[in-house]
Every structure is written in C-alpha cells, then in structure tokens.
Amino acid sequence: AQSVTQLDSQVPVFEEAPVELRCNYSSSVSVYLFWYVQYPNQGLQLLLKYLSGSTLVKGINGFEAEFNKSQTSFHLRKPSVHISDTAEYFCAVSDILNTGTASKLTFGTGTRLQVTL
Amino acid sequence: DTGVSQDPRHKITKRGQNVTFRCDPISEHNRLYWYRQTLGQGPEFLTYFQNEAQLEKSRLLSDRFSAERPKGSFSTLEIQRTEQGDSAMYLCASSLGPGRRGNTIYFGEGSWLTVV
C-alpha cells in the first residue's frame, strides 16, 4: 500500500521569500508523483508531475520539485512567493499500470501555505 | 476543453434523504474518478471507471453509495440514506487512458454535501 506524508500542516512565509513544502512517500514499487494546489472552495489544479527522466521537475506558477528516490521524497519549492500563492498544496502518488498509465492517486493531508506581506 | 463539470456545487440535505451528484468529464476522457474530501484532509479515492466499466471501488464506498457511468460519458454518484458523516466535498476527475496520455488527471470544482 502506498502512503504520502506531508510533514508540515501549515507553512507561513513572507511575500518574496523562498518556500519549500515537504513530501515523503512510501511505496514498494515505482511510482509517479504529483503536486496539486487547491484554492478555497475550488477543486484541485495540477502544479507539476514526475513520471521519469530528470529528477528536477518544473511546473506552473514558478514552482518546481525534486524527486529523490533514495530519500523517497518529492519536495516542492518556489524561490519567491506571492500573496496569490496562498492555498492548500497536496502531494500525491500513484502506481504505474502495465500500460504506463497512472492508477488512482493517493494524497497526503495537505500543507496550507500562508503568504503575508 | 471546458473542464470537468460537477452539479450541483452545493447540496444541503436532511439525514436519511438520498442525494445524487453528476459529473461531466472532459470530452474524450475515458477515465473518470470519484474522490471524497473532508475538511482538513486530502482527497480520498472512492472509485473509478474506464469507459462504462467500474474498475475499482474503495472500501470507503459503502453499500449506501453507488456510482454509474452508463454510456461512458457522464457519471452519477448516489448516496442513499445520508448520514452526517457523509458531509464532505465530492470531487470528480477525468483523464485520457490507458497509456501515458492518462498521466494527467484533471479535477472538477467539487460538489459540497452538508447533511443536517
């Protein structure tokens, strides 16, 4: 069974400061990894995904994440945050089906990023 | 793409009543997923379809829950005899699949259920 741990439930940060949101996963097989963002009262929007290849993945809105297989981590980073980045961020993992497709997603409990002036 | 569409966005119902949610996936997406999200938690998988076939159901999907996708397009999620513990946001998602095109799963805005 897979699991995802997001170690920080809340991360306060000042605008224009860098931020890192941590994600660790547990799985006995190869996986795909995702970060989603959720704004208040809305659904989830994909920020970025790691499928294979380069371990540094760039996504939308200036976010990037690095896959570290030995540490089973997929931390999300942004060098300079904006007020508009205030939202809930979810890390997710999926098995890889024999067709190369992601199976269902298993999510972490989320990290609330609060950006202030 | 018009995105994944869910209806209704909000539903308040009395305990014991039945409710039904509808999801319209992105056109040509043959995979459709249902998730449930409670306050302060991440989404939890309920079930998914490939075309009209329901391929997997979570243990969270009790016998009061039923999902259908009769023509492989839209899907419905029905909850019978609702309980207060059913209060949550029900998220629908879709993707192209199988194959690597199915590796981006798009979510709808969600349907909020409040059971009073």
**How does pLDDT run across A46-78, given as a tens digit for each residue?**
999 998 888 999 999 999 999 999 999 999 999
Q: Which of residues 55-114 of A touch B (CB under 8 A)?
A: 90, 92, 97, 99-102, 104-110
What residues of A are in contact with residue B90 (Cβ under 8 Å)? none
Give the pLDDT band of residue A31 (cuts 50, 70, 90): confident
Residue B102 has what pLDDT?
Answer: 63
- Determine the residue among B29, B30, B32, B37 to mutate to test chain A binding: the one whose Cβ has the most chain A Cβ atoms within 10 Å: B37
Q: Letter for the amino acid at B77?
A: L
Q: In terms of CA atoms, which chain A residue is nearest residue B58? A: A104
Higher pLDDT pick, B95 / A17: A17
Shortest distance, CA B26 to any CA of chain A (angstroms): 14
Average of per-residue pLDDT values in chain B? 92
Q: How far apart are CA B16 and CA B80, in angstroms?
A: 7
Nearest 5°: CA angle at B35, between B33 and B41? 150
What residues of A are in contact with residue B45 (Cβ under 8 Å)? 104-106
pLDDT at A99 over 80: no
% of chain A surpassing 90 pLDDT: 74
Q: In this structure, are residues B92 and B75 in contact, taking their beta carbons and an 8 Å threshold?
A: yes
B99:A99 CB<8 A: yes
Give the pLDDT band of residue B99 (cuts 50, 70, 90): low
User: First and final CA of chain A: distance in angstroms?
Assistant: 41
What residues of A are in contact with residue B98 (Cβ under 8 Å)? 97, 99-101
